[in-house]
Structure 1
Amino acid sequence: TQWVYFFGWHRAIFVFFLQLLSLLAFICEEVVSECTLCGGLYFFEFVSCSAFLLSLLLLIVYCTPVYDRVDTGKVKSSDFYITLGTGCVFLLASIIFVSTHFGTAAEITAIVFGFIASLMFLFDFVVMLCEKRQEGQLRKPENTARAEALTEPLNA
């Protein structure tokens, strides 16, 4: 498919694991039956579900003919910022949930999956940032050579 061509197999597997971790964090959080300070639990629930759904939306765009109909630069840019935002908010939700959890096994498991998922989202962001910089460096020599040719006198 187009998505596998765009990202490669290693990226496809990585995004699949991001999906799985987000879903597992959400499921473990849903198993929690009692809470004393429920604000952290509810925020974690919202963030883990949102992370799963946003990532799923991007995967659907990449895997369907919609990808061919939209500007690929905008899709990559959206993916870049969604991954950064999701990683940061997921990490924040995990920290808040740690400070308000009751100590049940389901809560601790959800927290572990939350931290792993948030760190993986942030790692994915760093990988995309490095790829973006490499693309910029590959284009840079091309632009400087052309700029040098433009600064040469015409009558030389």
Structure 2
Amino acid sequence: MSLLVGIYKEKKEKDFKMVILPSGENKIGLGQYKDYGIISYLNKKDSKKIGEFILWALNESDNEEIEDEVNIKWCKKYFNCSSNLKVVNEYNNIGFKFFENKYIVYLKKKDGRGYSPFKDENGDMVEYTFPEKPTALELGRKVMEMFEYKERYDGLIE
């Protein structure tokens, strides 16, 4: 069983928006975000609360088919943006998954109008596997650390 959570953070150092989305499956069995999630304006100092929100979204994620989904564009539904390109230009993305009894966070990068795995200068995926289920504080800190790494890489933080 694989459970996924999408974590998006506005590309800003302060007063940033975060969107945390649980997932299910679409009619043909592919992963898809549910029609609800959490939108917050927490800061780095709120790592425990960010972790709590992510763990909530993991708990809400399942492999059940999403029925009666709302037919609103992804960019409008969660981000109030006019296009998917605007979302990927304005938000960094981290995935969090529970797969084969492992809890893994992994960084993604802009790839056209979507996201693909982010690889470091050695060609390795930037990810972290927790040795056991993380606490909210551990998870929140690791996620914020990964977002900061990506923002430094992009030159947004000096």
Richer in helix (by share): 1
TM-score, length-scaled by structure 1: 0.25
Which protein is bigger by CA-based radius of gyration?
1
Richer in strand (by share): 2
Compare relative contact order (CA 8 Å, sep 6+) and give the higher one, 1 or 2.
1
